[in-house]
Structure 1
Amino acid sequence: MRFTILSALLCATAAALAACGGGEPGDVSKDVPMREKRTIRQFAVSPLPVEKLKPCDLISPENAEELGVVSPDRGPGPRGAAHTPTTCFWANGDGESVALQIHNDTDSVRIVVLNDNVDLIRGYPAAKLPIGISCIVYVAVSDSAYLTFQVISQDRAGPCALGVRAAQHVLAEMQPV
């Protein structure tokens, strides 16, 4: 009887350890639910070095024009307006705008994945928070930084669609660490 109980306990412990994955915290694991991931490498993407960048450099003039967040009458080379060292703002004459902010936080992945509307943008964890004609799109780009795209848009697709497109442009241009 004692041997049977001990065997059952050993089997249960082995099964529990196998279910945990047994790997290091940064391992890529498809078995870990998105809300439980804590490192950027768990998403099978490389961290992006945004900590020392200026947000106004993250959306090129061409991308700003393509996104429709600059007025065509501004002339060549539209740039965003820096509001703070970590925030840049683009706007057109139709009331659409994008404010891009870089946040340095050692819990960046967790901040993003604990939101309700979590998805992936170019492989990076992203969350959308729609609020009427505005939306905030959060994107974790490393274990120590995330980006927010605060958007106002009355486009039929909704403001989150513009935020996602802006994030796609930025992520496509960045080089991993």
Structure 2
Amino acid sequence: MASPLTLLTPRLTLRRWHADDLDPMAAINADPEVMRWAGDGSVHDRERTSAAIAAWEREWDERGVGLFAVEVRQSRRLAGFAGLSVPSSLPEILPAVALGWRLGRPFRGHGLATEAARAVLDFALRDRGLARVVGVHHAADDASAAVLRKLGMRRERETTHPECGVPVCVHSLDARP
């Protein structure tokens, strides 16, 4: 059963997924510029996006963490996602919970990624009681690195993503005293 969990920021609503989120998220995932730094950089079709949303919802139900749908409060438009996931594709950093986001092109460059990521990080530390959160990004993705630094995360290491073969950077925030 879906949780009523919702996070509010000044400009965003972070919430569980609705059926009418599929088409706007599929459009975001079909944009090569948006997908440039995601995995191997390939775009995702509607079917793959549907499977991803279903997997994100399962992660919420099974692990108590997942990726929120990010909606702009004023327009009620889906901007993308932000949330937490287990980076199982990088076993060298496990156990870990990773902070991540993906926003459509019209929503970039306005501080929305930082705003959403800050809300998710606060949720991770306060509501989920996590002592450590990581952020993983393509090594050349300077914008994502900047967001993670704004959140107080420090670069921990560089490694190669075993599935994609691309260099990635791991940042972390340790909330333990």
| TM-score, with structure 2 as normaliser | 0.29
| TM-score, with structure 1 as normaliser | 0.29
Where relative contact order (Cα < 8 A, 6+ residues apart) is larger, the structure is 1
* Bigger Cα Rg: 1
